Amino acid sequence: MPHHPARAYRVLQMLAVALIALTCSAPRVLAEDATASRSELIRSLLPTVVNIAVRKDVVTKVNTASAVASTANSGEVKAYVGSGFVIDPSGLIVTNYHVVENAFEITVTLSDGTLLPGKLVHASRLADLAIVQVQAGYPLKPVQWGDSNKLRVGDQVFAIGNPLGLGTSVTGGIVSGLNRDAEESPYDDFIQTDAAINHGNSGGPLFDMEGKVVGVDSAMVSPTESFSGLGLAIPSADARFVIDRLIKYGWIRPGWVGVKVQQVTREIAEAMGQSQPVGSLVSWVLPDSPGSKAGLAIGDLILKYGDDTPTDERALLRDIGQTDVGTTVNLTVLRGGQQRTIPVTVEAWPRKRWEERDAPTAAVEPDAKIPPNLGLTLASIQKAQRAKLNLEDGVEGVLITSVKAGSDAARRGAVAGDVILRVQDKPVSTPAEVQNAITAAREDKRLFVLMLVLPKVQTLPGPRWVTLRLKEGVG
């Protein structure tokens, strides 16, 4: 068979071009696969995240990432939104404490739009974590926990939450800092991320790229009311410790040594004759505390806690707090220029003393007893009043002449001068008809009664539907 060098050369050229094309397209294919895989992962996690809406009397700190959604006309009650995530199929949800602090009403929205009433079951003010229970009637999808101790600056993460009350949203970024101190508590250990965390993200999960929760989104640092590239999350290692203790004991039940320590600064190190600022300096030892019994003294420089070398006094306090009660730990201390080992048996914080610092504040609930008329004083509308009340011909109603302070009606913005047009599905024209409809709703064991109200002050023309609580003891 004859040999054709030119033809063979052209064949080699074609093969080379094909190989180059395959080589160039491979990264694009891999990138597309990675993007599709990430999208599938995120979609699979959406059912684990919930939106939380609360009504409360107390305004939370402005640097937190919860959002004011609306304000009642009375100015006494505000509605806030936040986020949370499911940790148990039975309906246990984790969020930030500041989201539900002082809330007398908690509403949880699942990813499919289902609305469920929530009940605060456990909380820690210092850790800024809370556990809310919902009853869905079927198992909910829980998150998987990740190990925040393995995080490194530059790792990719993404947050899912309810920013600004817009609904479930996903933002991505990297870990931009670790062990941040926001001066919220003596134990601060925040993850810093540039994944956008805005008002309303509070309590939502921070995921790693395996879809595991490595943090609880808690705050943003910004000179304005909006995100500026600095978001903070509680590490999952800290959050899991707190949550597990709350579920098991009803409080954190932290380890306690009974000493006050402070970080060694360069100035303190210089004054002590140290070349570098290391360790935590004991500034006080409580009488009859584990530290006192072990022989710790004011002026001791704690260098090591067991096998751990805490990076600062916050890390030392976390080590102590997370130590099982009854454990004996060897502390390496520097005293008088000499290192020595002091064994300390960790005890539980005296509960009363701890709860003075950490117990959740009680929600300010509406009146314990709801008056039969829901706190409304009503009157029939006289013919001479119809024009002033902007009632069209043929439209009947009942005039609200006063609203009891502190009642649910007042909290929801009812004022004297409003006109009730319907209660549930029935038009009303006399106070007796309103009362009968309220009584019927109670007898049907409803939690709320629905009213069509023509407001005295209208931001938009026409009446609007409002709900008032009927359940006794809740307001």
Known active-site residue 402? no
The answer to whether 202 and 69 are in contact (CB under 8 A) is no
Known active-site residue 128? yes
CA angle 217, 226, 149 (to 5 degrees): 25
For 106, 142, 255, 451, the CA distances from 474, given in Å and listed in that order, are: 12, 29, 37, 19
Locate the DSSP E strands across 17-152: 49-56, 67-71, 78-88, 92-95, 103-109, 115-117, 119-124, 129-133
Tokens 């919930």 correspond to: 50
* Phi–psi pair at 442, nearest 5 degrees: -65, -45
Active-site annotation holder among 66, 124, 148, 202: 202
Structure tokens at 382: 């006289």
d(CA 211, CA 170): 13
Active-site annotation holder among 66, 83, 122, 128: 128
Known active-site residue 218? no
Q: Residue count of the chain, please give it.
A: 475
Query: What 3-state DSSP class applies to 26?
Result: helix
3-class SS shares of the chain: helix, strand, coil, % to 5: 25, 35, 40
Active-site annotation holder among 98, 148, 169, 218: 98
The answer to whether 87 and 239 are in contact (CB under 8 A) is no
Active site residues: 98, 128, 202
